[in-house]
Amino acid sequence: MEANYRMERNPNPKGENDEMPLHPRLIPHNTYNIRELMRYGKERSTYSEADIAGALRLITDLVAENLRSGNNVEIEGLGFFSVSLQSRPVMDKKELRSESVHFKNVNFRCSQTLKDRLKTMPLTRLKEEKLRTFNDDEKYRRLQWYMDRHPYITVMKYRGLNGCSDYSARKDLAGFVENGTLEETGTRHIAIYTRPAGNNEPEPASLIIDSNITTD
């Protein structure tokens, strides 16, 4: 089976309007859990599912125990596991007690053997649906149509409304904030865009937005 990818563009980290280069992003077919790996392992070996499950649990326990004891763990053909730590920033090591140092994360470094096996993985670009594009005036009209019916809009909703990429949606919404059409609120995890207080735009002519995907 070939792995699928699509070309994506990240938002400019500097907040500028210049577009960032495209880069390929893998689109997973699925995420396999232990039970599925056990089933496939049984089909490819003489081991039973119970044998495979027991071996996986044992390896998991041994990896966790050794990491907890301050060791690194290498699983040949897979990679290296190690622990990273965290503490508050200090200038002198005497300012920090052992009780103030904590576990942060488990680091994984892929083995060269696994990298070599993946270098020749078959890849195919995911066929994407054709999206109808709108000019700036039409995007503005569609935004006002939506805001007349909802208290706020998110990046995801704007993408669906205008059939655009995440990058284009964020760029458009930033422009609407800059010119005073919208205000940005929300949290650091999700941005919410609302009309400024007292901004009551007239409702535009009726607009059909059931779908912006064309079918050929």
The CA distance from 131 to 216, in Å, is 11
Give the confidence band of 206 by pLDDT, cuts at 50, 70, 90: very low
* Cβ-based neighbours of 112, under 8 Å, separated by 6 or more: none
Chain segment 48-74, per-residue pLDDT in tens: 989 999 999 999 999 999 999 999 999
For position 91, what pLDDT does the model report?
79
Full-model pTM = 0.55
For position 179, what pLDDT does the model report?
94
- Residue at token pair 């490819």: 44
C-alpha dihedral sign at 175, 179, 182, 186 = positive
* Domain ranges, ordered by start, for the chain: 129-216
Per-residue buried b or exposed e for 128-163, using 16+ beta carbons within 10 Å of the residue's own CB: eeeeeebeeeebbebbbbbbeeeebbbbeebbebbb
- Nearest in space to 134 (alpha carbons), one of 97, 159, 100, 104: 159
Tell me the mean pLDDT in the region 100-114. 94
Give the confidence band of 123 by pLDDT, cuts at 50, 70, 90: very high
Using CA atoms in the order 92, 93, 98, 103, what is the torsion angle rounded to 10 degrees? 90
Structure-token pair, residue 213? 């995907």
CATH 3.40.50.300 fits 129-216, yes or no: no
